[in-house]
Chain A
Amino acid sequence: MKFTRRTFLLVTSGAAALPMLSSGARAQAFPARPITIVVPFPAGGPADLIARIVGERMQATLGQPVLIENVSGAGGSIGVGRVARAAPDGHTLSIGQLNSHVFSGATYSVRYNLLKDLEPVILLATNPQMLVGKKGLPAQSLSELITWLKADPDRGAFGTPGVGSPSHVWGIHFQNSTGTRFPFVPYRGAAPAINDLLSGQIDLACLQASDLLQQVRSGNIKAYAILANAPWARAPEIPTVDAAGVPGLHMPFWHGLWAPANTPTDIIARLNSAVIEALSNPSIQQRFTDIGQEIFPREQQTPGALATLQKAEIEKWWPIIKAANVKGQ
């Protein structure tokens, strides 16, 4: 086996040459080679689907292949760490959401700083979460549910897709806000939690609304609230958590795209406009609708809007996570 000196020189000189160009020449030269989008979750989930849809279109507009790398594990922190350490040249990007790009910094022991080691590129899409209960629960509304939970702190088994997941953290926030207590039941992902809710093994769950709507519509589970400040366009009959009597317990499940920190601003701008081009394409918009994702309005498709939202979410959720001493598993 040969590892020639030339091999390593080629690799390092490619990376080092970029910062020496003027910013205009650099933006023109970008992308110089294929772009990798690291998805910090297994294939098939929402972040992965979004990466694939947007990546395909970016491949056409940027003229370079876009590879998807699923680097899953530890609440997304392994995949985020991969991008945080990558060369800041725009060729390695990090897609993610509330769990990987907000919670992981508090639920896992990580070597990266979410705000300092990543450079926001764009806010992609969002999808509200929904609080649901099994078919046979006696409570018909959120306020009745709270009364039912308060009557016996041992009941109300609340399934989550995992310890430290957004669903779990929202459940803790709900307990704190309503003075209720109920046991959490962690699963490996949303699908098995939904199965056990359908069969009545657990009482409650809070998951991405698009994953639950069909079962709600068929009457197999009960919807108590949409965890957002405005009704969900796909099911406006389901009350918001505010309308249901517990104001402020919102948790939008949003997705964004980041590059490593210190990526030149002109390259960030080029990536941002390539994604905007994709998100404004009608067939891509339809594919987002098909998977239950709402694209952010044009004025929020900026690096600054992602930076502001990510920071606000960290400031909101980290104290709740730390006070409850939630550690990812």
Chain B
Amino acid sequence: MGTADVVSVISSPPLRGVLRDLASRFESQTGHKLAIRTAAVADLKCQIDAGTAFDVAILTPPLIDGLIDDGRIAAGTRAEIARAGLGVAVRTGARKPDVGSANAVRCALLNANTVMYASGSAVMAHIERMFERLGIAGDMKSRARRVPAGGYIGEAVAAGAAELGLTMIPVILDTDGVDLAGPLPTPLQFYVEFAGGVGVGSKQPEGASELLRYLAAAGAASAIEAKGLERPFGTPNRAV
């Protein structure tokens, strides 16, 4: 992917705002040029499985570890970057419900006509356990809208396909047309982690490693926080 003197980066959508913010600075500080692509994880996985080359991949840790096992990512290059919590999205201009406590979230969900979240993911499993814990699993059956391609819940809410969206906070902050009503409160929160690695056979291994160090370093922390991601990485999710 890309020409020889460019570091090609493929990443899950939640990191797109961070990459956009840091790309110019990284390029001018290091002299390496970046070609960045973000796409839904399933799409990226298809591309990787089809043999598409990359210098840096930023995905969830299980996927990175799987690619290390498959010999697609160099083992010593795994870098932990950041994690993203879940938030509640509403269309820009719509009233933002209070989601500051478990009870407030319960009310907000019951007051919404439709609530959208990604299907087939750990996030979905968490959200549906949360409905049960809040005692509203039955009520949510008619309200829940599960959609594939988890990076684009924000787009769907912006387009009016659902009243509330439950998705990763950086996705909400980086989508025009939606606002963050708030993060899920601590007792209901769930984090998705992101790690990176350098592709085996990368023609730009130095630039690739340098980008991963750059993203993992303390200097990137303010850009990461500004886009709704956070550190430390790796604090276990609590059971809801």
Contacts and interface: CB of A to CB of B under 8 A. Distances in A.
A56 B2 contact: yes
Contacts, number: 103
A100 to B, nearest CB: 14
B146 to A, nearest CB: 14
Given A33-B24, A70-B43, A65 B155 contact: no
B52 A44 contact: yes
B236 to A, nearest CB: 17
A85 B39 contact: no
A146 interface: no
B228 interface: yes
Given A81-B158, A87-B176, A111-B160, A72 B43 contact: yes
Interface residues of A, number: 34
A170 B176 CA distance: 34
Nearest to B85: A1
A213 interface: no
A238 B100 CA distance: 66
A294 B37 CA distance: 24
A70 B39 contact: yes
A1 B183 contact: yes
Interface residues on B, range: 35 or more
A182 B44 CA distance: 36
A72 B52 CA distance: 18
Nearest to A69: B38
Given A2-B225, A78-B155, A70 B16 contact: no
Contacts of A56: 2-3, 6, 35
A1 B176 contact: no
A319 B19 CA distance: 43
Interface string B124-154: 0000000000000000000000001101100
B159 interface: yes
Contacts of A69: 13, 16, 37-39
A42 B39 contact: yes
Interface string B201-221: 000000000000000000000
Interface string B60-95: 000000000000000000000000010000000000
In the A-B complex, the 8 residue pairs with the closest CB atoms: A70-B39, A65-B23, A85-B177, A85-B176, A67-B36, A68-B37, A42-B43, A7-B226
Given A67-B19, A69-B16, 8 more contacts: A2-B225, A7-B226, A36-B16, A43-B44, A55-B35, A65-B34, A72-B39, A72-B40
